[in-house]
Amino acid sequence: MLATPMTLLWASVTSSVTTILLLWPIFERSCPDGLRRYFYRYTSIITGYFNPYIDISFSDVSEVWFKRSDAYLTVETYLSDKAPKSAKRLKAELGKDSSKVVLSLDVNQRVMDEFRGVKIWWTSNKDVNTSRFAGYPDETTMSYMLTFHKRYRDLIIESYLEHVMKEGKEIGVRNRQRKLYTNCPNEKLPWYMMKRSLWSSIFFEHPASFERIGLDPETKQEIVDDLLTFSKSKNYYEKIGKPWKRGYLLYGPPGTGKSTMIAAMANLLEYDVYDLELTAVKDNTELRKLMIETTAKSIIVIEDIDCSLDLTGQRKKKTKKSSDDDDENGIIPKKDSKEEEKSNKVTLSGLLNVIDGLWSACGGERLIIFTTNYVEKLDPALIRKGRMDKHIELSYCSFEAFKVLAKNYLDLDEKHPMFDTIERLMGEAKIIPAEVAENLMPKSSSDDADKCLSKLIQALEQAKEEAAKKKDEEEKLKEEEATKKKNAGELKGLNVKEVAQKKENDEVKVKEEDQAAKWKDEDVKEEEEDQAAKGKDEDVKVE
């Protein structure tokens, strides 16, 4: 049989490949390092010339020690959504901020993705670099390799990469376990932690929800609508040129559900909570740093804002003189310079700046919430619309709010016979939701709905009595004050001479009264003595 040119070509290719495979280990071992590097470089250039595919590598090595690169982690999160659907070998880990098992691509595995009809491949690689120092372990780096046809270079670089980063971050936020952060004073941290985050955190696991909050249904619905509209308004805020943030002021007496509502808000929107303790913040600069470190999709809370700082004073930092002036006006207590230095340096203007100034724009999608028991104490600049966009008053328990709590605490769906009495009493007495909740909560297995409602009725009656007593006392006090004022007014109406005359008259009157009393005493005494003498004479006569 005659050999065709095709078979001849095939035979020569096979023999060349076999020869290369046989000689390769000898080349690897005997070739000097420099020459080998040259060889690799030029062969990759030559093969790259013919290879129509482009690779982009995402290594886990970052600029910061012990920290994996953000791009690598974002790709990993993005692939954790794709890989389980098609990869043959997966790696299971417990997510860093999550209680869920996260699946990712195992080493040397490949997964295909599609973007606008274009196919893209992701491969997971592990590279071991021999350590340059004897005795040190080899360095292992992980990377994801993105491969695509060079025809789609522009599409991948301009659009696909942005899509991966955006979606990866969104998946990360969705899968994360939400956290409750609090700021700790930096100087109290040990030296090796000084440069780390100013916030410390724990997992946020508050069970509050809007369904369980005792509040009038309309008010509740209004707040929920407001929050949901805000969370979907990214484009709208961009259009009107405002940072994507909203301020809420929650005010009302203690125990009316302000803190509970913040937890319900965080759960509704799936946001993290940053509980900012203003008294622990050193100065305005630290406040700004704290704000920069907060992430999007979060609620920044300052509880009891009226107690946190002296925010009722003027915005400017006070000089000695002006502070004296303020002291005279009773606005700010006077401090000596040392004390002033030690004291908190966060000023009202610093706070206004982070809420509403240029610094407020960092992050986006954030709620800033203030709570207070005394709204009237706050500087109007602090709570004006635009800073605190929505003011919510949480007040004493209404009957509608009570019904929500009764359903929540006692599973009372329908009207109970005792509800009428409770409704009447709630119209006559003020009671905070916290107290209602406390009375409705069964304390032992024998506490049924009737018993709990009776306790509540008792509490309401007591509150009513106390309110009546207080009212009486207040009226009495008012009357006394009115009499005092009247007397003072009478005195004021007279001129100096008349006042002197009145005083003299009063004194004369007092003297006359004293004299009259004295005379009366003397008359009585005389009468008694006469009587005694008369008695004695009669005795003598009888004898």
Ligand X SMILES: Nc1ncnc2c1ncn2[C@@H]1O[C@H](COP(=O)(O)OP(=O)(O)OP(=O)(O)O)[C@@H](O)[C@H]1O
The CA distance from 532 to 454, in Å, is 71
Encoded amino acid at 511, one letter: K
Partner interacting with residue 247 (select from ligand X, Mg ion, none; CB below 5-8 Å by kind): none
Residue nearest to ligand X (CB): 257
Residue nearest to Mg ion (CB): 259
The CA distance from 170 to 328, in Å, is 55
Q: Which is nearer to ligand X, 272 or 303 (CB)?
A: 303
Q: Which is nearer to Mg ion, 176 or 258 (CB)?
A: 258
DSSP letter at 532?
H
Least separation, in Å, of the C-beta of 254 and Mg ion? 7
Least separation, in Å, of the C-beta of 385 and ligand X? 23
Least separation, in Å, of the C-beta of 122 and Mg ion? 48
Q: Which is nearer to Mg ion, 259 or 294 (CB)?
A: 259
Question: CB neighbours of 271 closer than 8 A, spacing ≥ 6?
Answer: 178, 265, 297, 298, 299, 367
Q: Which is nearer to ligand X, 407 or 416 (CB)?
A: 407
**Which tokens in the block code for residue 185?**
């004073």
The CA distance from 212 to 403, in Å, is 11
Least separation, in Å, of the C-beta of 257 and Mg ion? 8
List 259, 267, 284, 360, residue binding Mg ion (CB under 5 A):
259
The answer to whether the CB of 334 falls within 8 A of the CB of 323 is: yes
Query: What is the torsion angle, in degrees rounded to the nearest 10, for the CA atoms of residue 19, residue 22, residue 25 and residue 29?
Result: -70
Distances (CA, A) of 492 to 191, 480, 485, 488, 495: 68, 18, 10, 6, 8
Q: Which stretch binds Mg ion (CB under 5 A): 194-202, 255-263, 421-429, 450-458?
A: 255-263
Mark 328-367 with x for binding to Mg ion (rule: CB under 5 A) and - for no binding. ----------------------------------------
Partner interacting with residue 257 (select from Mg ion, ligand X, none; CB below 5-8 Å by kind): ligand X
Q: How many CB atoms sit inside 10 A of residue 110's CB?
A: 15
Partner interacting with residue 102 (select from ligand X, Mg ion, none; CB below 5-8 Å by kind): none
Q: Which stretch binds Mg ion (CB under 5 A): 164-172, 189-197, 259-267, 410-418?
A: 259-267
- Binding residues (CB under 6 A) for ligand X: these are 213-215, 254-260, 373, 405, 433-434, 437
Partner interacting with residue 255 (select from Mg ion, ligand X, none; CB below 5-8 Å by kind): ligand X
Distances (CA, A) of 58 to 76, 77, 105, 123, 269: 10, 13, 14, 10, 32
The CA distance from 46 to 185, in Å, is 59
Positions touching Mg ion (CB under 5 A) are: 258-259
